Each structure stands twice: as C-alpha cells, then as structure tokens.
Amino acid sequence: MHYKKEHTKLILTIDETYHGQTILDIFQNLHLSRKTIHLLQQHKAYQLNGRYVPVTTAVNKNDLFTVTAYTTGLDYQPQPYPLDIVYEDELLCIVNKPAHTIIYPEHKDGLNTLCNYVAYHYLQTRQYYPVRCLHRLDKDTTGLVMFSKCSLLQPCFDSMISSKAIRKTYLAAVTGHFSKKALTVSKPIGHDRHHKQKMIISSTGKKAVTHIRQKLIRKDYSLVECQIETGRKHQIRVHLSSLSHPLLGDELYGSKSPYIDRMALHAWRLQFEHPLTHKKMDIICDIPDDMKKLF
C-alpha cells in the first residue's frame, strides 16, 4: 500500500492486496492486539474515506484509510553523536551501531548508549518519537540496528523479528581457515551453568542454525559471512567457537587478538519485506575501518 504520514496519523491507500478485506483483517495482519484494536474503536481513532465505520466494514481498492499511528515524546536523554543513519523512512530508522557501545542505558536518564544517540537524531530532525529498538547487538558488535518510529506498527516489526521474516547476515573475522567454503551449523544452544555470561552447545538447549560461507583468507585468519536462521544469544560466537574458529578478539569464547581490540563481528545486511508497501528491502552497511584493515 502507498502511505503517507500526517502529524500522528498514517493515511493508507488501499491496494489490491487488501481489497475486499475488512478493517479488522487489516489490523490483524499488522499483528495488533485485541486491546489495541479495542482502543482504536473506543477512541474512533481511524476513518475510512473520512468517516468512522465499524471494523467489520470491507475496504476497496483506492479507499483512504486513516489511523492514529504515532506516539510522541522522547524517552531517552538526547546525546550528540555523529550517528550513521543507513536507512530511514516514516516507519523505520536503521543505524550503524559503533563498536564499544551498548543499546540501552541502565536507567532512562543514562547516557553513552545507542538509544541516546538515536534520541538526539530524532530531536535534531524534529521527530519527537519514543526510541524503540527492535533487536540487539552485543556491545562490541558493529552494524545494523533497527528502530521502529511508528508505535502502531511496532507489533508487526516485532512479529517479523520473531518469525525470522527479517533475514540477518553478519561478516566476521575468525581464527584459522575452513576446510569447506560453505557449511551449516545446527547445534542447540543453552546457558552455561558454570559461567553466568556464557552460552554453550547443549543437547537441552534451543535450536540454533547458522549458515557460514568463507569469503577471504589471510595467513592465519579468515573473513566469513554468517546468516542466522535463529536468534539465540551469542549464537554466531558460540557456533564459530564450537568449530575451533572463534571470532578474532572474542575473549569470552576465544582469546585476545593482535589484529583487533574487539571481537570482529559486524551486522552487515538486513533483508525483509516492507510491511506496508511490500517492497523488498535490502539494507547493507559496510564493515568498519578496524575490520577493513584486516583484509
């Protein structure tokens, strides 16, 4: 569907995808909860062609459907930072997270986190939205992180994350060389009972699948591409370590590296279908300088 934003509302032009469906169908397709749908009805917070109608009303191609979709008010302390905005529209903000940076502060008034930097970007561009991160990266991992700007569509994005409708691909520098150029690791991952911070391969753990492709080799390390089917904590780190090819600089699952002062992992690519336009999105973020110099 074509869409445009007006203040706190989204105006959707119904296309053939939703022609003949009801307003309730649209809300459910966007993964809205029963409570949210009830509140939209209670507050008459949507209109079809300029008037409020029951949710059982069917829509037709080229109808204009208007719905209150945005919450206003920054909720993290804005902090100046030269943030790299990789992609942005009225619904999403996708940024390149720098190394040695956590996503959230421990308290709402905390500083020096990605949420603070995104809040500052919103403030500078007069976008007064709450900062809503859709997924996480470890402190030392660089690369793509998605933020939802539209509160109405956040459940849809959350569903896309949990159902793996958003394909995530990472680039990693690892110790040694692989005997095969491509392989798939399917080993369940669970918590290490003896080390609070660590995850381990465990028969009682949760399913974890990582596809690995070797791209470049150097004297004693390699550049690999890792595409994850599942999103377990430390998944790439644990799977690579289980193959005796830990990330360079990963002190938890490997050791310090003379080549880089952090673990060499970068969230390189996000592929997904835009929830409103259904356009195929392919967002790529180049590796940072400290990894470039390795190759």
Q: Per residue in 184-237, pLDDT tens?
A: 999 999 999 999 899 999 999 999 999 999 999 999 999 999 999 998 999 999
Average pLDDT over residues 271-283: 95
Average pLDDT over residues 65-93: 96
Q: What sign for the dihedral angle of Cα 154, 160, 161, 167?
A: negative
Given the candidates 3.30.1340.30, 3.20.20.10, 3.30.2350.10, 3.40.50.300, the CATH classification of the domain at 168-267 is: 3.30.2350.10
Euclidean distance between CA atoms 33 and 83, whole angstroms? 33
| pLDDT, mean over the chain | 96
Average pLDDT over residues 140-163: 96
Determine how many CB atoms are found less than 10 A away from the CB of residue 17.
12
- Reduce the DSSP state of residue 206 to 3 states and report it: strand
CB 221 within 8 Å of CB 259: yes
For domain 71-160, the CATH superfamily is Pseudouridine synthase (3.30.2350.10)
CB 12 within 8 Å of CB 64: yes
Euclidean distance between CA atoms 246 and 263, whole angstroms? 9
Three-point CA angle 233, 216, 201, nearest 5°: 25
Q: What's residue 231's pLDDT?
A: 87
Average pLDDT over residues 158-164: 93
Q: Provide Rg for the chain, Cα atoms.
A: 22
| In the predicted structure, residue 128 carries a pLDDT above the cut 90 | yes
CATH 3.10.290.10 fits 2-68, yes or no: yes
pLDDT above 70 covers a percentage of the chain that reads: 100
Is the full-model pTM beyond 0.75?
yes
For 31-72, what is each residue's pLDDT tens digit? 999 999 999 999 999 999 999 999 999 999 999 999 999 999
* Beta strand extents in 117-273 (DSSP E only): 132-133, 142-148, 167-175, 182-186, 189-191, 199-201, 209-217, 221-228, 265-273
pLDDT above 90 covers a percentage of the chain that reads: 95
Give the bridge partners for 30, in sequence order: none
CB 226 within 8 Å of CB 236: yes
The helix or strand, by DSSP H or E, that contains position 280, with its residue range, turns out to be strand 280-284
CB 91 within 8 Å of CB 148: yes
Q: What's residue 108's pLDDT?
A: 86
Q: List every span in the chain annotated with CATH 3.10.290.10.
A: 2-68
Q: What's residue 62's pLDDT?
A: 96
Q: What's residue 4's pLDDT?
A: 94
Tell me which residues are annotated as active site. Answer: 138
